[in-house]
Structure 1
Amino acid sequence: MAYCPKCGIKVERDNRPCPLCNFHIPKVHEESDEVLRVKKFPKTTNPYPTYTRRVLNRIFIFITLLVFVAVSLMFYIDYELNNTFTWSRYSNLSVLAGWVLIYFSFGYVKNYYKIIIGIGIDALILLFGLDRFDGSLDWFIPLAFPIVTGTTVIGICYWSVIRALSVRGFNVIGFLFIAIVILTMWINFFIQSYQNKTNPLNWIIVTALQLLPVLLIMLYVKYGMPERIKQKIARKFHL
């Protein structure tokens, strides 16, 4: 309903002039409730993530150009000096593997499973190339492949357990120590197998000595660390 600005009686929205005092009532354009709701509660946007993403993209492009120039320069120098590619193969393969790690660290891959698998594949390609350039696969198959593959599998299992059980707080660190224990046993086993020293008793003793510091840290965090330090660490790392 509208009101006459002269006599104040209620009139219809499009009723003009006023039926009582014959005053000309101006037409008021009322907006719909949906329009008013949109104007009353505007949608806010945070420009900071977009700005950060733009800066990271520029930094990554700059690093990529540097990597391309470095790889090309090392290949050129090596070929000019030796008429073939010798040391540049090792250097450039390492540089490219590092570039892949930078790609993952800049947040272009959001899925953690893909990140873990991608880093594992990157490490396997690097180690395979370094061993293959020597003319034969001496240590990649018996040592590097099982260790990197086991590390990748343990990383995937750790992240799956954290998500499935909704682990929070210092329990995340506890599960991390458990994963480190399993990984240490795995690595130690293949190192001893590669050295032809697979003695079960010796393997258990060496593994126990390696895991002793981890066990002491876990016990200290659980029972000896002051509560104020725990809270400070939890706030610092969002545990």
Structure 2
Amino acid sequence: MAYCPKCGIKVEKGNRPCPLCGFHIPEVNETEKVASRKFPKAANPYPVHLRRVLNRIFVFVSLLVFVAISLMFYVNYELNEAFTWSKYSNLSVLAGWGLLYFSFGYVQSYYKVIFGIAVIALVLLFGLDIFHGGLDWFFPLAFPIVVGASVIGFAYWSLIRALSVKGFNVIGFFFIAVVILSMWINFFINSHQNEIDLSSWFIVTALQLLPVLSIMLYVKYGMPEHVKQKIARKFHL
């Protein structure tokens, strides 16, 4: 139903002009919806800008690494007519460049980061041992230590995620992982030197884990709640 804008009587839809006064009633599309104004979608440009800056820095550093490697090879060959010290230096520089790749956030998965760093460490240690004249310490010492550190890293993160560990417990599990890793390294170092005693090794491991477990139990059951909340606010736990 519509109204004549001149005389105000009700007219049927489509009646033009007005049957009373003859005024031409304009056509109005009643189905047309007025577009509602919406707020623009919020977007944070900072991550994109930071990513671009990091990409430029990484490309620049990569070019510096390439120039440094080429220069060291050239200087070494000019001085010694062979590649001697430059092999060690350039392999170490390449390993550092690989670690820089992970530190710039190009890999987001924790498991892939641990695996990638382990591969870089193994390649570095394998190359250093080969350049030294043979595989004297890589397989009995370096390989099991790197693999053990990787397994402990995988286990730590999996445990944190599976148990939804938060707050102080994250720190406690971290210290336990550090103690286990240190004893793992100590085991293979002593084994390589033929000085390992399994019973003594287990006792020392247990004695090192005992203080950490005691502190975790105290924090969990003995520390007052207001103290825990105060520390959690202080360190954003």
Range of TM-score over shorter length: 0.7 to 0.9
What pairs up with 1:20-35 in 2 under 5 angstroms?
Answer: 22-25=23-26, 32=33
Instruction: For residue 14 of structure 1, report the CA deviation from its aligned partner.
Output: 7.2
Q: Counterpart of 1:175 in structure 2: which amino acid?
A: F
Structure 2 residue corresponding to 1:157, chosen from 155, 158, 176? 155
1:190-231: CA deviation from partner (whole Å, max 9, x where unpaired): 111011011124324544565577557656755569432232
- Distance in 2, Cα, partners of 1:173 & 1:61: 36
Residues 221/58 of structure 1: CA separation in 2 closer, same or farther (3 Å cut): farther
Paired residue for 2:38?
Answer: 40
Provide the aligned length of Structure 1 versus Structure 2. 232
What pairs up with 1:198-237 in 2 under 5 angstroms?
Answer: 198-207=196-205, 211=209, 214=212, 218=216, 226-227=227-228, 228-233=230-235, 235=236
Residues 15/163 of structure 1: CA separation in 2 closer, same or farther (3 Å cut): farther
Residues 204/91 of structure 1: CA separation in 2 closer, same or farther (3 Å cut): same
- Distance in 2, Cα, partners of 1:192 & 1:132: 23
Instruction: For residue 182 of structure 1, report the CA deviation from its aligned partner.
Output: 2.1
Paired residue for 2:52?
Answer: 54
Would the aligned equivalents of 1:5 and 1:25 in 2 still touch at CA under 8 Å? no
Q: Counterpart of 1:51 in structure 2: which amino acid?
A: H
Paired residue for 2:127?
Answer: 129
1:102-150: CA deviation from partner (whole Å, max 9, x where unpaired): 1011111111111110011111101111111011111111010000001
Instruction: For residue 174 of structure 1, report the CA deviation from its aligned partner.
Output: 1.8
Three-state SS of the structure 2 residue aligned to 1:69 is helix
Q: Counterpart of 2:57 in structure 1: which amino acid?
A: I
Structure 1 residue corresponding to 2:180, chosen from 177, 182, 186? 182
Worse-superposed segment, 135-144 or 176-185: 176-185
Q: Counterpart of 1:25 in structure 2: which amino acid?
A: P
- Distance in 2, Cα, partners of 1:213 & 1:100: 37
Whose Rg is larger? 2
- Distance in 2, Cα, partners of 1:23 & 1:2: 13
Residues 40/3 of structure 1: CA separation in 2 closer, same or farther (3 Å cut): farther
- Distance in 1, Cα, partners of 2:41 & 2:217: 49
- Distance in 1, Cα, partners of 2:48 & 2:98: 23
- Distance in 2, Cα, partners of 1:12 & 1:151: 85
- Distance in 2, Cα, partners of 1:144 & 1:151: 11
Gaps spanning 5+ residues in structure 2: where? none
Aligned Cα RMSD in Å? 3.0
Report % sequence identity.
68
Gaps spanning 5+ residues in structure 1: where? none
Q: Counterpart of 2:26 in structure 1: which amino acid?
A: I
Alignment partner of 1:92 is 2:94 = no
1:134-193: CA deviation from partner (whole Å, max 9, x where unpaired): 111111110100000011011111111112222222221122122222222211211110
Worse-superposed segment, 126-135 or 221-230: 221-230
What pairs up with 1:166-177 in 2 under 5 angstroms?
Answer: 166-177=164-175
Residues 17/138 of structure 1: CA separation in 2 closer, same or farther (3 Å cut): farther
Instruction: For residue 12 of structure 1, report the CA deviation from its aligned partner.
Output: 7.9
Paired residue for 2:138?
Answer: 140
- Distance in 1, Cα, partners of 2:160 & 2:15: 68
Worse-superposed segment, 140-149 or 41-50: 41-50
Three-state SS of the structure 1 residue aligned to 2:107 is coil
Would the aligned equivalents of 1:127 and 1:144 in 2 still touch at CA under 8 Å? yes
Q: Normalised by the size of structure 1, how large is the TM-score?
A: 0.82
